[in-house]
Chain A
Amino acid sequence: MTIDLNSTTFGKREERLGSVVGYVGTIKDLASQSRCGSLKDRGRCFSQSSSCDAGCVLGYISHIRDIAIINHAPSGCTAGASSVLTNQTQLASKRGLPYNTVILGTDMNESDTIFGATGTLHDTILETYRRYKPEAIFVTTSCVSGIIGEDVDSVIAETGEELPIPVVPIHCEGFKSKVWATGFDAADHAILSRIVVPPRKKGNFVNFKNFNESARDDIVEMFRALGVDVFMIYSNTTLEELSHVSEALATIAICGTLASYLGNGLEQRYGVPYIKTINPLGVTGFETWFRDIGRVIGKEAEVEAYIERERALYLPKLEEVKKRLRGLRVVLGMGSSFAFQVARVIQELDMEVAYIASWHYDSRYDDGNPPPHVQYLAEHAPRDFDVSVADQQNFEILNILNRYKPDLYLARHPGTTVWAVKQGVPAIFMADEYMSFGYKRTLSFAYTILDRITNRSFEKNLSSRIRLPYTDWWYRQESASLYEEAR
């Protein structure tokens, strides 16, 4: 599907990528339905809080340094700003960089819901510029601004003319998409359409789209071995730097969910190749990915040399630790890409994937092809196993954990592993997207798992003394029993 950069809005994932938030089946069925494009979404008659586009946007776009984000919303939608900014400030200070991004809200009240608040928004934009002198102002929309039909684009066009910096709308009303990862696309759309400029010349660098850049030093060194630089986005970037991503040799990513829009958008608009293989988690993932990069940027020999060196260093140790992990049964609950990529690593480490719960699932990416990691897993899994798309629904996860009784639960996204632990299942919150990146981190991931299952006292004590909210009735049902029929 072609990405349209002339509009301020863009298609949500359900429409663009055939994304679903309710599915139950097996890995082989999911892979085949993705290929045929036959996947149908299923709703639920019970649901629990998850996330929204707007929350996703605030958390992601605020990685950029020295911008202002104005959330055109009632106060509660901006309440998470403190946690978000704490995180980003720490990421910047780790690198010794200044970080002056601010998140503000227009605090829409009752009369705004009737009379509108474009006046407030206008004043807030000007005042924000006066106080903070940011490099750009991004205005994010909300359920309330969406329902009253605020003409945010016009206010922004107006104030944009008064100010010497870009003022950019990001349309991310919370009720709009069932898939909160649409927020990544909203942020990317704003960057691609308003910040990125045509290339001046070809650069000697690759764009690397990620979250928190914890493996930065190793990655820089890795690409230095290929004789190219790496530009990691958006964490700790400046707008000026971001504006030149069109000059990259290629775009690569830690996560297909995260990068589909920007990667394919840059490829379509500026011809920057986007690497679409399985991602660099685990050994197979890393080698497949790195070789593809080498092929695209013409550095095959350097890539092979690097792989040979690293293999010699880490594979013997990896073989050792695998013996101690063999046979452990694992349930995974993660986003549409990580869930299947980490599952691949689990199998590489000789553990058994008991179940995958993917938060949402994109049946295809913006290039029109089904996600390669699901195809890979379906072809290479020792046996077919159960999969659901569980929309971060806690009641389903606890039901699944109760039924499959794994040795370990792995999840990304805060607030999910806590419930496994309360139910007595050891869990690892894989907040760091590089937790099993490449050889070295795959090895440390294996050690982390060993550590985790070596002392189970915390969850054992806690789970035997607290009560969980679910009825016995629920634990007797199938996890997908509250799904509606496919529409």
Chain B
Amino acid sequence: MNKFVDRPRFSCALGGALFTLRALTRAIPIIHASAGCGYNLYTAGNAGAGYLGGGYCGGTGWSSSNVVEREVVFGGSDRLSEQIRSTLELIDGDLFVVVTGCMVEMIGDDIGSVLDEFANEDVPVIAVSTPSFKGNSCDGYDMLLGGLFSDYVRRDAEKRTDTVNLLGLVPGQDAFYKGNLTEIRRLLERLGLRVNTFFGEGETLENLKNASEASLNIVLSDVYGVGAAGVFEKTHGTPYISLPLPVGAVQTSQFLREAADALNLPRDAVERVIKDEEARYYDYLERIADIYNDVDLQRYAVVVGDLNYAPAVSRFVADELGWLPRLAVVTDDLDEGEIRRVEKRFTGWESDVSPLVRFDTDTSSVRRYLQEAWRPGNNERYYDSLSPLFLIGSVFERDLAASLGVPLLTVSFPVTNRIVLNQSYAGYKGGLGLTSDLLSTLIAGR
């Protein structure tokens, strides 16, 4: 059977849309759904994202029409209209976005005609259809951004060759989204670019509104954000490229070269930036050479994570730490084409190491794949065991880590055992951060 959620690593489309809006300064969601949707999704998303919190108006602060049996029977349009009107009076915001839950989609509320009543308000009110049954939180990110790109982003902007938008990191689903976006923006700015990430430090709705000035959208994912980038291209004529989330020096230098090529930036300027960044990076990384060798910190690795993190982290530990990743489990529910795109990210590594790659949404499957990746012992006189091993995944891997007696670092949703603030795993800075987190786990007893 294919449909069976065993310890869910994603929330639903509505959840993805809500956390994307939570990351967008002064954008106010209006949830048209049952009373529990907003709060349940907040509880899951908050903890899973390393305690992202409700932000400006999230969690119990989210405006929500709280439809009950009456609306399910008679329709919820009147209730929605009333809720939008009162939200505009109560909540101070610059953009109001109606997002919908399953039940109102199924009862067929005509949201478009409700929105017509608010066409002349001082602040824009738009609606994006985000029913849970249409996808997971990453799909919700795409739906929401797609809606914003069509209905909010300026249509008349002049293209600027020096401007790009960054897509592909789903706020909340990626607990480190803000640190990651900030680091990638920093690097692209060093190439002389203007960068909109929409959710990065100091950004406002103006970044989103003027995003159509960009001459390229860079999607830091093989799947997330690709749909929205397609909508953007159709609406605003900006093409996109899809590059993997870069973690550490090897991947980030490659990322900068590919991004620069796509933008036809002069190669020598890019190389100068890379050289400078790598010099700073290896100045820090050199520090661990002593301890790494003195106590032997080489490890086998098993990586369980979403399609952004699983390949990037596996490659990082292989190419940069000299570890031996033996198994990578990608936890997204993907179609054949998407699987092929993600599989490619596990090949062509500098280290020439390649883990067994499996695609599975079920947490309980990881143990089975482990037996596939490493032949279990059979009472031989000598057995080469998969040890010492390091597990990199989510908190769902805690039981597995405990039963194997190996350390675990959580990087992929849900990350309920960490407080995540401005940490990044992307870029050069992220590579150092990941190194520090992995090796600190190993020497915690010292």
Contacts and interface: CB of A to CB of B under 8 A. Distances in A.
Interface in A454-484: 467, 469-471, 473-474, 482
Task: Among B4, B57, B136, find the residue whose CB has the most chain A CB atoms closer than 10 A.
Answer: B4
Nearest to B82: A45
A332 to B, nearest CB: 16
A49 B7 contact: no
B3 A107 contact: yes
Interface in B58-80: 59-69, 71-72
Contacts of A49: 31, 35-39, 42, 59-60, 62, 64, 66
A51 B56 CA distance: 20
Task: Among A49, A144, A418, find the residue whose CB has the most chain B CB atoms closer than 10 A.
Answer: A49
B103 A175 contact: yes
Contacts of B38: 48-49
A25 B59 CA distance: 27
B354 interface: no
Contact of B35 (A52, A113, A394, A467): A52
B144 interface: no
B91 A471 contact: yes
B13 A415 contact: no
A113 to B, nearest CB: 5
A469 B103 contact: no
B302 to A, nearest CB: 20
Chief secondary structure at chain A's binding surface: mixed
A9 interface: no
B102 A51 contact: no
Interface in A95-113: 102-110, 112-113
A131 interface: yes
B11 A55 contact: no
Contact of B5 (A75, A176, A415, A473): A75
A392 B60 CA distance: 8
Interface in A166-221: 174-178, 180
Interface in B1-35: 1, 3-8, 10-15, 28, 31, 34-35
What's the interface size class on A, roughly? 35 or more
A138 to B, nearest CB: 16
Contact of B66 (A50, A82, A394): A50
A46 B87 contact: yes
Contacts of B47: 82-83, 86
A175 B72 contact: yes
A81 interface: yes
A469 B106 contact: no
Interface in B138-166: none
Contact of A415 (B6, B42, B103): B42
Contacts of A175: 34-35, 67-69, 71-72, 103
Contacts of B134: 109-110
Contacts of A394: 60-61
A414 interface: yes
Contacts of A288: none
Nearest to A482: B86
Nearest to B48: A82
Contacts of B15: 76, 79
Interface in A222-264: none
A51 B62 CA distance: 12
Nearest to A103: B7
Given A46-B63, A176-B69, A415-B54, A143 B34 contact: yes
A51 B103 contact: no
A416 B58 CA distance: 11
A298 interface: no
Interface in B205-251: none
A460 to B, nearest CB: 18
B8 A48 contact: no
A140 interface: no
Contact of B37 (A104, A120, A174, A395): A174
A47 to B, nearest CB: 5
A336 interface: no
A469 B40 contact: no
A50 B92 CA distance: 21
B89 interface: yes
B177 to A, nearest CB: 17
B441 interface: no
Nearest to B130: A76
Contacts of A108: 133
A318 B195 CA distance: 61
Nearest to B363: A102
Contacts of A471: 89-92
B260 interface: no
A83 B61 contact: no
Given A174-B34, A392-B60, A147 B72 contact: yes
A75 B90 contact: no
Contacts of A431: none
Interface in A101-148: 102-110, 112-113, 120, 123-124, 127, 131, 143-144, 147-148
Contacts of B285: none
B10 A124 contact: no
Nearest to A183: B36
Contacts of A177: 68
A105 B5 contact: yes
Contacts of A143: 34, 72, 101-103
A473 B63 contact: no
Contacts of B69: 175-176
Interface string B173-205: 000000000000000000000000000000000
B304 interface: no
Contacts of B91: 469-471
B40 A74 contact: no
A470 to B, nearest CB: 6
A469 B44 contact: no
Contacts of B136: 75
A80 B44 contact: yes
Nearest to B71: A175
A85 B14 CA distance: 22
Given A75-B8, A82-B8, A48 B60 contact: yes
A82 B37 contact: no
Given A50-B39, A75-B12, A112-B133, A81 B7 contact: yes
Interface string B82-101: 11011101111100000001
Interface in A30-79: 45-55, 74-79
B194 to A, nearest CB: 27
A346 B288 CA distance: 56
A419 interface: yes
B102 A104 contact: no
A144 B134 CA distance: 12
Task: Among A48, A74, A123, A127, find the residue whose CB has the most chain B CB atoms closer than 10 A.
Answer: A48
A143 B40 CA distance: 14
Contacts of A103: 7
B92 A180 contact: no
Contacts of B90: 46, 395, 470-471, 473-474
A75 B13 CA distance: 9
A471 B46 CA distance: 25
A390 to B, nearest CB: 11
B132 interface: yes
B6 A104 contact: yes
B255 interface: no
A86 B416 contact: yes
12 contacts: A48-B60, A49-B36, A54-B36, A108-B133, A112-B133, A120-B3, A176-B69, A178-B68, A395-B90, A419-B60, A467-B56, A469-B92
Given A82-B8, A82-B44, A127-B1, 5 more contacts: A46-B82, A49-B64, A109-B134, A144-B106, A469-B61
Per CB-CB distance, the 3 closest pairs between chain A and chain B, nearest first, are A52-B36, A76-B12, A49-B38
Interface of B: 1, 3-8, 10-15, 28, 31, 34-48, 53-54, 56-57, 59-69, 71-72, 82-83, 85-87, 89-93, 101-103, 106-107, 131-134, 136-137, 364, 395-396, 414, 416
